[in-house]
């Protein structure tokens, strides 16, 4: 199982969200990165849809998890896709490739959005902190 996680919203290093502190305790920042996808503003947080479109990127951070099983279980609960959460889940944890700033490609976990997009606006920059809606 991969030990890396790509985050693109409330869990990013620049976030002031309380859950970032959980991640900071359970992971080591590896670097800024991007994945192929489309980013949407869901209100208080973003959601990503993975795509193969080579012109669409979502920007975020990659972390190496110190205890992946424990950290991912807690993060699954936070994202509402843990075993005790009602289905259908709004998010699903999947594996994808992230491209670090230095060009290295790393296999990572990422939480992708599985809900409806009605009324949701895409963040064209692909960066949650640079959204202009």
The pLDDT, as a whole number, for residue 91 is 97
Three-state DSSP at 79 gives helix
Angle formed by the axes of helices 18-26 and 68-79, to 10°?
170
Cα separation, 20 vs 14, whole angstroms: 9
Stated pTM of the model: 0.93
pLDDT exceeds cutoff 50 at 18: yes
CATH number of 4-130: 3.10.490.10
Q: Look up residue 79 and give its two tokens.
A: 């994202």
Cα separation, 125 vs 90, whole angstroms: 23
19-45 pLDDT per residue, tens: 877 888 889 999 999 999 999 999 889
Whether the Cβ atoms of residue 10 and residue 93 lie closer than 8 Å to each other: no
Domain definitions of the chain by residue range? 4-130
């Amino acid at each position: 199982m991969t030990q890396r996680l790509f985050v693109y919203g409330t869990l990013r290093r620049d976030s002031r969200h309380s859950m970032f502190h959980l991640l900071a305790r359970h992971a080591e920042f590896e670097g800024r990165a991007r994945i192929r996808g489309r980013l949407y503003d869901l209100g208080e947080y973003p959601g990503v849809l993975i795509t193969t479109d080579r012109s669409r990127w979502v920007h975020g951070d990659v972390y190496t998890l110190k205890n992946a099983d424990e950290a991912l279980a807690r993060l699954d609960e936070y994202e509402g896709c843990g075993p005790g959460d009602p289905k259908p889940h709004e998010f699903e944890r999947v594996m994808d490739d992230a491209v670090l700033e230095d060009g290295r490609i790393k296999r990572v976990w990422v939480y992708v959005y599985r809900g409806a997009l009605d009324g949701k606006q895409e963040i064209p920059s692909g960066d949650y902190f640079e959204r202009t809606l």
